[in-house]
Structure 1
């Protein structure tokens, strides 16, 4: 039995084709997940895409002590469940709890990771906590091509344990996705938004994550400036609870239900994102993108260098860039046409 531990929205999207491909090879798959107060996005996505899963543990929130307590409890819950299963391999995006349980039970670990460092120019001391707690435990580790192998080797991995793939992670689930303009228009109409206005879709940074740790003002103050200076539709995709955003931005439309958000990313006039995955998705569609992330990862730099994404570091800069590039579509083909999504060879290496 192959075990997938999916604890972030991205892990659900990324591993969907891998789960299907492994099942098609006659293998049995177990998917575990977690949720928590104010954090249901993973479970909602699993239900949306009809992926069977077992829920074990909960999200610890923003506080480090609460995170540690939740992690300890989840590791125990996972261990008690997993040791009753005939698991032959763990596959995940560097899930800390699953890595610890698999390592303790002698289960081979296959880790995928595209952000081992919080800055593309940083040294080893800038390694993210997840990378430090998981990559050294890997039996095999997979990296996207823009992250240098030398970085993975710093985590005590031998070169023969490290495998690269020639695509940005979002290609795994977007390569056969067809965006629907009717979905986008229906979304605007059902929320009584003015279809004649330009639409900006927005996503917060993962401020409760251990590698961010706080809210940075650029996005929040920048949205106030945009509202004061531009007559546009603003649609917010919550990262955590929806209600705080509704109170903070009464002028915006806050999405509360789970939907195939990629249709909105594809046809928005601008996407402003504090994270990585939705930024990359919007770039894939050629939508103009402004990153308000508090750091620049290797794949962020790839998108910026390709002219597909801008970076704003102050509220004023966010307003200025918004006014400059809204509705200015980008051509993603020069970058994404160089990539190849060869899932079969990756699955073969995973199972080998």
Structure 2
């Protein structure tokens, strides 16, 4: 089999990398086409994944639309040359369009309900749309669900073991009490009009008043008042930092979920809730705050979690979660191979889709 994987965001590299390795180990050919988005290309290089660069997509809606046309044209050329059996992506706008145009089976993964515009432009063209079973919407006959999260494709314990030496190389003591504060760039199409944290210097002072160090990571430039708290971590190392943190606070639902599935309590502050962040709240691992007073409520909960850090068994919460979910890489591999029913994972995913 030949598969064509398209990558639009750094998180997509994490999501697909183990599936790419497994498919290649089984003798299949996998080709990767990527957008130059944030550190996506650096991550592909760090994991030694060969790739073709399609271009970049940013700016106003008009600029995004124009760049999208160029990207799709380049992917059409690549797909015609490779003639793959399947094309796949997270979100999948470009992959679904190119697959439909060239008669290539397309498999799209998503977990983002509020990406309404791109979802409407993608799903009618995709052969299969796969989401976690906590996804709120019904996307039609080609929509299937599996019991998991995107983040369990690379942070399931069968895939990832945190290494304290990674933190020590960055000057962080894994045994110290610390909080990871994450700020996003707000340049994705589905983020237009959304917002997250404000009053950041005051929030940091409150967290530090509980005896915790605060390490800030950001997609853009930090306010001057927080510059001395910035921690530069390689994109391939960030999950080790999250695994040893006592608390995550941030605007990124992906990183909040990564923290939660690693057993680190997460406070997610954003104007938009999501199905998977809501479900993680049921496991007592993530708290989402939305609406006009989200910053005050989020800060209050973050302080409560720090106060309770020494008396809460977060590992027990994580074990309960893992018992109910699957290794998402298994789902990805099976769907790209089209091998429904070959293992318990595929049967479980299909059964849930048909319920």
TM-score bracket relative to the smaller structure: 0.7 to 0.9
Is residue 2:38 matched to residue 1:40? yes
Shift in Å, 1:298: 0.8
The structure-2 alpha-carbon separation of the partners of 1:183 and 1:332, relative to structure 1 and needing over 3 Å to count, comes to same
The structure-2 alpha-carbon separation of the partners of 1:345 and 1:60, relative to structure 1 and needing over 3 Å to count, comes to closer
Contact 1:245 1:254 (8 Å CA) reproduced = no
Contact 1:17 1:173 (8 Å CA) reproduced = yes
Contact 2:107 2:128 (8 Å CA) reproduced = yes
Contact 1:225 1:315 (8 Å CA) reproduced = no
- Please give the secondary structure, in 2, of the residue aligned with 1:76: helix
The structure-2 alpha-carbon separation of the partners of 1:110 and 1:229, relative to structure 1 and needing over 3 Å to count, comes to closer
CA distance in 1, matches of 2:175, 2:109: 42
TM-score, length-scaled by structure 1: 0.83
Is residue 2:138 matched to residue 1:137? no
Which of residues 152, 163, 177 is equivalent to 1:180? Answer: 163
Shift in Å, 1:215: 5.8
Stretches of structure 2 that go unaligned for 5 or more consecutive residues are: 339-355
- Please give the secondary structure, in 2, of the residue aligned with 1:17: helix
Is residue 2:320 matched to residue 1:334? yes
Q: Residues 39-82 of structure 1, C-alpha deviation per residue, up to 9 Å, x if partnerless?
A: 43111111111111111111224x21221121112112222232
Contact 2:152 2:329 (8 Å CA) reproduced = no
- Please give the secondary structure, in 2, of the residue aligned with 1:26: coil
Partner of 1:13: 14
Partner of 1:89: 86
- Please give the secondary structure, in 2, of the residue aligned with 1:236: strand
The structure-2 alpha-carbon separation of the partners of 1:114 and 1:315, relative to structure 1 and needing over 3 Å to count, comes to closer
Which of residues 57, 63, 70 is equivalent to 1:59? Answer: 57
Contact 2:88 2:106 (8 Å CA) reproduced = yes
Contact 1:167 1:341 (8 Å CA) reproduced = yes
Shift in Å, 1:273: 2.2
The structure-2 alpha-carbon separation of the partners of 1:342 and 1:5, relative to structure 1 and needing over 3 Å to count, comes to closer
- Please give the secondary structure, in 1, of the residue aligned with 2:148: coil
Which of residues 137, 151, 158 is equivalent to 2:138? Answer: 151
Stretches of structure 1 that go unaligned for 5 or more consecutive residues are: 119-126
Partner of 1:124: none
CA distance in 1, matches of 2:225, 2:58: 23
Is residue 2:298 matched to residue 1:318? yes
1:106-255 matched pairs, under 5 angstroms:
106-115=103-112, 117-118=113-114, 128-147=116-135, 151-153=138-140, 158=141, 161-175=142-156, 176=158, 177-189=160-172, 198-205=177-184, 207-214=186-193, 216=195, 218-221=196-199, 223-231=200-208, 232-239=212-219, 241=220, 244-245=221-222, 247=224, 249-255=226-232
The structure-2 alpha-carbon separation of the partners of 1:106 and 1:8, relative to structure 1 and needing over 3 Å to count, comes to same
CA distance in 1, matches of 2:207, 2:129: 46
Contact 1:201 1:271 (8 Å CA) reproduced = yes
Contact 1:179 1:266 (8 Å CA) reproduced = yes
TM-score, length-scaled by structure 2: 0.83
Contact 1:60 1:68 (8 Å CA) reproduced = no
Contact 1:246 1:252 (8 Å CA) reproduced = no
The structure-2 alpha-carbon separation of the partners of 1:18 and 1:251, relative to structure 1 and needing over 3 Å to count, comes to same
* CA RMSD across the alignment: 2.4
Shift in Å, 1:252: 1.9
Q: Residues 315-351 of structure 1, C-alpha deviation per residue, up to 9 Å, x if partnerless?
A: 3223222221126252211122211227556534432
CA distance in 2, matches of 1:248, 1:207: 20
Contact 1:110 1:140 (8 Å CA) reproduced = yes
Shift in Å, 1:144: 1.5
Partner of 2:246: 269
CA distance in 2, matches of 1:82, 1:48: 25
Partner of 2:278: 301
